[in-house]
Chain A
Amino acid sequence: MMAGDVDANGVRVQFRLGGNEKVIVLSEARVEQIHRIARRVWDEPFARRSWSELLFFVLSSLLAVVGFAFIAFTMLSGVALAITFIGLVVIAGSLRGARGIGGFHRNLARSFLDEHIEEPEPFAARPGFFGWLQSALRDTVGWRAVAYSVVKIPLSAFGVWFAFSVWVDAFFCLVYPLWGHGATRPPEFGVFLNLFQPGYLSVGDSGFFHGLFIFVTGVILVFVAPWTMRAVVYVDRRLMRVLLAPDAMTARVRSLEHARAQTLDTSAATLRRIERDLHDGTQAQLVAVAMRLGQAKEKLAEEGGGLDLDQVRRLVDDAHRGAKEAIVELRDLARGIHPPALDIGLEGALSTLAARSTVPSEVTVVLTDRPTPAIEAIAYFCVAELMANIVQHAHASRASISCVQQGGWLRIVVRDDGQGGAQLALVGSACSGLSGLTDRVHAVDGRLHITSPAGGPTVITIDLPLHA
């Protein structure tokens, strides 16, 4: 017997098992969890996802059969003909076909499972027929697609037995009562009905209860079917990700290519910025200086006694001030290209940076090995950018910079007690700001992590390898 009642701690369930009285107290969270699971099980047969998985399984299995037939036929003929040159060509053609079949599988996964498997590299043949042949035979994407087609066949067979048949069983059980009682036995080719062989199914009874039992069995199967299918499709997803996506090496090459492109763009943008600073700042300043000195020179050269000394003095004064401003601008610009403090090491450079900041900052640097110059520069400019952000946006009263070596890595943590809310996209313009930092850090396989809740504090963590 079972009894349940609700008290303050949750639900008490009493029941008797083998003569022993048992009491289970379920906490509210537990009850909530059970509810959730029950709701999920109830919803699943009606969920769009379950039906698209079923459809995917059917279509991809059909495709797998066709694909396997093609690959098996062409490969075997290729091997049979291998003694002649034609055999190699046939195998190459087979691999190109396998690549296409892999593409179909990826498309199916994208359309029905919303599983976006990255496209592998497009086939790049070397020039000439023999180049093509060699490239095709060495095409790892093709060979991996062959592997997928081969492995997919037993998976599909298993899926038919383990999952597809459950749907079929469920269907026949549900419609059985409509067919006139006992006229036919429900089919028994599926896993569940075969496994359990429930006795009531084979009872030659054609009564109302017989039909009801079978119908109830069908209902249960409907709730089981989505899950067995999901398991099969899950295995297929994994398989596709391994065999139909670019392999790890290719992915690595791609990410390196991406990083390289970004590094080149960033350095081009940096050069452009320096050019603009020179053009708008120092160059204009120097032209103005030259202009004033030119004027003064002509005044001094003027014949006759009309020399206005005051005016000349003013011109020379302006020129002198302009020259000094130009020197300051040049110094700032040069520091922006390569901070001289970096020559003595990161600790000195970061201390200088903190000392120049208008927000009081403390610096901790613990390094046993010296990072390579490129890493030092990246670390320095990242901290410089972050400190500039803090001064401009954070409304912080204090900041701290810590730079600690952890094995082969450098961990930089910049913290401020400002208003928070720093985000990659929002702070700074396109080429500077936090997104610019991310590019710099990614270029050397580093990582950048931001914690900046509204109201602060903001903590930005950058991990850089010691050697790049």
Chain B
Amino acid sequence: MTDSIRVAIAEDAAILRDGLVQLLADRGFEITAAVGEAEGLRASIERDCPDVAVIDIRMPPTFTDEGLRAAIDMRKRHQGLGILLFSQYIETRYAADLLADDAAGIGYLLKDRVADTSDFVEALVRVASGGTALDPEVVTQLLGASRRTDSLSGLSGREREVLSLMAEGRSNAAIATTLVISEGAVEKHVANIFAKLDLPVSQSDHRRVLAVLRFLDS
């Protein structure tokens, strides 16, 4: 399944970069470039047109948000390029910047997530194929910061879990596996959530993410 996915990696810590290259190569990804700063990434994306780029947010020379700016920039220039931002901190602002117009092919994960190799690879595949992968931490922060607490309090515990997983960008099938329930049950929960929050029903997973995020942010 992952044979043909081509990945560019931008990560300034050599030890992590090498680890990622090794991990992804082992899982059958094709690594088109592994670089340490944003400029090299731009050049390699122009050259190789990968399916997805894994980008560290903090990179030289200023060690602030080079990766994020490069990502936003490259989203505009390369339609269909998946972006997985990879950071040791979660800044909800960054997520908002990145998701400003579309959640298709966007991911934002804590670096810790690579420890669970399969989940990480799964997220990368999702992003490469136009889906969304938001770190649970991002979702938790968004839920916590949301002013729509009264609407959210109307949800049952199970529904809140489903909402969180939905916001992370997972499909109904993946949610069903994670919560160990049937896919039909998930569909029912999703329908309930959309009805309770008065959200427009949408078929594709990433539009669903966007709808949920808009709701939490408004």
Contact = CB atoms under 8 A, between A and B. Distances in A.
A295 B88 contact: no
B187 to A, nearest CB: 30
A298 B16 contact: no
Contact of A288 (B16, B26, B63, B116): B16
Given A276-B63, A291-B23, A295-B26, A322 B115 contact: no
Given A290-B112, A293-B115, A283 B88 contact: yes
A295 B19 CA distance: 10
B15 A290 contact: no
Interface in A277-310: 279-280, 283-285, 287-288, 290-295, 298
Contact of A292 (B19, B58, B112, B118): B19
Interface in B87-119: 88, 111-112, 114-118
Nearest to A283: B88
B19 A279 contact: no
B43 interface: no
Given A294-B114, A294-B115, A295-B26, A288 B58 contact: no
B110 to A, nearest CB: 9
Interface in B107-165: 111-112, 114-118
B29 to A, nearest CB: 14
Contact of A295 (B12, B13, B117): B117
B63 to A, nearest CB: 7
A291 B114 contact: yes
Q: Is the interface of A mostly helix, strand, loop or mixed?
A: helix
Contact of A322 (B15, B20, B58, B114): B15
Contacts of B117: 291, 294-295, 298
A298 B23 CA distance: 12
Interface string A294-331: 11001000000000000000000000001000000000
Contacts of B63: 276
Interface in B12-60: 12-13, 15-16, 19-20, 23, 26, 58
- Interface size class of chain B, counting residues whose CB lies under 8 Å from the partner chain: 10 to 19
Contacts of B118: 298
Interface string A141-162: 0000000000000000000000
A294 B15 CA distance: 16
B13 A280 contact: yes
Contacts of B114: 287, 290-291, 294
A117 to B, nearest CB: 42
Contacts of A293: 115
Contacts of B13: 280, 284, 288
Interface residues of A, number: 16
B88 A288 contact: no
Nearest to A318: B19
Contacts of A294: 114-117
A276 B16 CA distance: 16
Contacts of A290: 112, 114-115
Contacts of B20: 291
Contacts of A322: 15
A332 B157 CA distance: 46
B23 A295 contact: yes
Contacts of A287: 16, 88, 111-112, 114-115
Nearest to A292: B19
A284 B23 CA distance: 15
B58 A291 contact: no
A335 B70 CA distance: 36
B37 to A, nearest CB: 13
A279 B23 CA distance: 21
25 contacts: A279-B58, A284-B13, A284-B15, A284-B16, A284-B88, A284-B111, A285-B15, A287-B16, A288-B13, A288-B15, A288-B16, A288-B19, A290-B114, A290-B115, A291-B16, A291-B115, A293-B115, A294-B115, A294-B117, A295-B23, A295-B26, A295-B117, A298-B117, A298-B118, A322-B15
Given A284-B15, A288-B15, A295-B26, 15 more contacts: A276-B63, A279-B58, A283-B88, A283-B111, A284-B13, A285-B15, A287-B111, A287-B115, A288-B13, A288-B16, A288-B19, A290-B115, A291-B23, A294-B117, A322-B15
Interface of A: 276, 279-280, 283-285, 287-288, 290-295, 298, 322
Please name the 6 residue pairs, one residue from A and one from B, whose CB atoms are nearest each other, closest first. A290-B115, A284-B13, A291-B114, A294-B115, A294-B117, A288-B19
